[in-house]
Structure 1
Amino acid sequence: MNHQLRTGLSTVPEMDDTQFVRWQGLLEERTGMCLAPQRRSFLQTSLGLRMREVGCDSYQEYYDRIVNGASGAIEWSTLVDRLTVQETRFFRDPDAFAFVEQFVQQKAAESGDDGALEFWSVGCSSGEEAYSLAMVAERHLTAQGKRYAVTGTDISTIVLRKARAGRYQPRALDWVTDEYRQLGFKDLQPGSPVQVSDTLRQRCCFSQVNILNLANCPLQSQHVIYCQNVLIYFRRWRRREILNVLAERLAPGGILVIGLGEMVDWQHPLLEQVHSSRVSAFVRKQSNSTGETTRR
């Protein structure tokens, strides 16, 4: 029997076990994300609505379209935007950003000019995280005559376009302090969309990167790598692979920040873990004159 489920937008066919496993496998193969069985309804609805848009009557017909030919690659790009976009907001984890802010303050106080401080927001979604890092950097570095740059990467082209535009609904500022509101946004009017300041937008760039291909990403010598609420969507062995690559992309003395509980037993010879119950972070050890790593 061909059961159907009704949503607020349309009627979509019910997904059986065989089709769920097939689509679950395709998503993990191409993005690394492991979709839990509990999220079958999310997958079913997302696929069903897109199938309705393109005129496919079954999951198998749509699957065949996705995996075959150049048109399939284009359709996959559209679909992956809907399947991988995650919720985010400005200063989402106050403890983690307080840790980053403390690190930036230390860098601002250091004498000499070693070039721009580099920040990387991994899985930046629609840009709030990257702009939050930029606000912290702008507040503490610019006054000291120091430069910075922020790079946000994500697999979704749709959210990257929103990130580049830097335009958000007023409720996006609910977690932003008054000081950062004045620093990071312009033309603030009650009830109106808010626009990230030109200064911050000029300091931030956004690029499409599949986290499975991090080894080919050109970013190197990053002072801050912020990778929160990303690893939870991957299997544990793949989380280790991702973190190993990120560790190698840190500059000596740089910090890697991940989500609490995302990877509790991971270690890397280049890194020293920060001992804190509120933040999950690591510091890349400094190198001495012989090239050996030393404790910070």
Structure 2
Amino acid sequence: MEESVHLDHATLSAKDFNRLSRFIYEQCGIKMPEVKKTMLEARLQKRLRSLGIHHFSEYVEYLFSPDGLANEMVPMIDMVTTNKTDFFREPDHFDYLTQRVLPDWVRRHGSMRFNIWSAGCSTGEEPYTMAMVLSEFADANPGFDFQILATDISTRVLDKAKNGIYSESLVDPVPQHLKKKYLLRSKDRSSGLVRIVPELREKIRFRRLNFMDDDFGMRDQLDVIFCRNVIIYFDRPTQEGLLQRFHRQLKPGGFIFMGHSETLSGLDVALTSVYPTVYRKMK
């Protein structure tokens, strides 16, 4: 039924594009320059078909109506956010976490619970990688316990992350001994699907979070924040404001892990570089 809707005007007018790009920037901090107009059109066409709307102009008017702001804002943001992730992406970060951060943390904190945040978790590969390496560390260090918070602005990717079901090709980067321990094969072997074991899934709390919110809604400060390959989509003032909020959310001595293409150079944030793209809140 959805496919029968024909888009009479499959291009956004300059006026509507500018209105949408301003709105996207205000809502989630993502810059949408003119060169991304074609990409925005392509992604929003799915929403037009789903809603039975024929014109982009009609869609924009609906989006900014009271009903649209209440019901369409989240699906629209889902369509325009970029979600790219892998298991064990930038693996040296996980080595640094388990070989340097965690042993030092255990010496300083003993049996306290270790709290880590996957900020911009996409479809879940990063927090499940965290859960695997932290579980391995816990097995080798009796008394160590951890909790993972995983957030994203997109409800679509969060739904997939919560299910913890992946194709076998996506879990290729997972070492074989961890696959055997933490992945369940589907009863239907021809499906090519695996699922994260329940004991890992229950260590992760998934929820929607918008980085542009003044209050992240967290009661406790965190030991580590992973926010990798996210701030590249923001302009410098937005990056600085976000990292200052991350800084407030960290415990003294806590760490932020950034993406390898990201830098804090030139930003007014009280974090010290301790390893390539790893920064520490010293006090």
Question: TM-score, structure 2 length as denominator?
Answer: 0.88
TM-aligned CA deviation for residue 111 of structure 1: 7.1
2:202 is paired with a residue whose SS is helix
C-alpha distance 104-135 of structure 1, shift in aligned 2 (>3 A): farther
Distance 1:191 1:114 in 2: 42
Which residue is 2:213 aligned to? 213
Which residue is 1:268 aligned to? 269
Amino acid at match of 1:209: L
Distance 2:100 2:6 in 1: 49
Distance 1:132 1:214 in 2: 29
Distance 1:251 1:17 in 2: 46
Is the CA contact 1:134–1:150 (under 8 Å) kept in the aligned structure 2? yes
Distance 1:104 1:186 in 2: 30
Is the CA contact 1:108–1:144 (under 8 Å) kept in the aligned structure 2? no
Q: How many residue pairs were aligned?
A: 274
TM-aligned CA deviation for residue 94 of structure 1: 1.6
Which residue is 2:177 aligned to? 179
TM-aligned CA deviation for residue 232 of structure 1: 0.9
1:124 to 121, 125, 136: 121
Deviations 1:124-174 (A, max 9, x none): 111111111111110112331210010101111121111111111111112
Distance 2:194 2:175 in 1: 14
**What is the correspondence of 1:111-190 to structure 2 with a 5 Å cutoff?**
113-145=110-142, 146-187=144-185
Deviations 1:36-94 (A, max 9, x none): 33322210111223212212222221111111113432122222212114111111112
1:82 to 70, 79, 82: 79
Amino acid at match of 2:33: A
Distance 1:125 1:36 in 2: 23
Distance 1:204 1:230 in 2: 20
Unaligned runs of 5+ in 1: 1-8, 286-292
Which residue is 2:232 aligned to? 232
Distance 2:49 2:190 in 1: 38
TM-aligned CA deviation for residue 112 of structure 1: 6.1
Higher relative contact order (CA 8 A, sep 6+): 2
**What is the correspondence of 1:10-159 to structure 2 with a 5 Å cutoff?**
13-107=10-104, 110=107, 113-145=110-142, 146-159=144-157
TM-aligned CA deviation for residue 225 of structure 1: 0.3
1:218 is paired with a residue whose SS is coil
